[in-house]
Amino acid sequence: MGFISAFLCVFVPLVSFSTYITFRQGNKLPQITRQTGRSIGMGYNYLRIVIKHMTPKSNESIEVIRKMRQVGQQAFAFSNEVKWNLLETKPLIKEAFPNLTEDPFNKFGLRGEIKGEEEKKPNPAASTSNLIAETFNQRSQLIKKKKQKALEEETSNRI
């Protein structure tokens, strides 16, 4: 359906119906026109006010979200640090109090033992650039895996 046929099927009947309604009003036409213009103008004003109040006045919302994420990351890092510190002290407490029948660390949900120094804490010598490079490499590997999976699905769909 081309543009001309869409124009003929939609706009021409709409314009002809509007013209018919307009001529039918007679002497009331100026009043109805004013009322229609006012309603359209007020609708525009209402829309403008709603848009004005819905848009943020500053970057305050972005800052709040950034702070929330930062606080979440700091809380996660703190909880991990506490967990690893408790896991470090677990063998010391078992040596200091050999007659304990109940493991006090079960209350904290810590049932694992420390397997090695490397697994215990992140490397403090790791720089930000190394972390970013590692993250970028992991991201590129994920993208490659997704592309391979998409290709496999595409070839299986063809078969």
Per-residue pLDDT of the chain (159 residues; tens, 9 = 90+): 577 888 788 888 888 998 888 888 888 888 988 998 999 999 999 999 888 887 767 777 778 788 888 888 888 888 888 888 877 887 887 788 877 777 777 776 666 554 544 455 555 556 777 778 888 888 889 889 988 888 888 777 766
* Integer Cα distance of 159 and 156 in angstroms: 5
* Integer Cα distance of 99 and 105 in angstroms: 15
* Integer Cα distance of 56 and 63 in angstroms: 12
Residue spans of the domains in the chain: they are 3-54, 60-121, 126-159
pTM of the full predicted structure?
Answer: 0.31
* Integer Cα distance of 33 and 25 in angstroms: 10
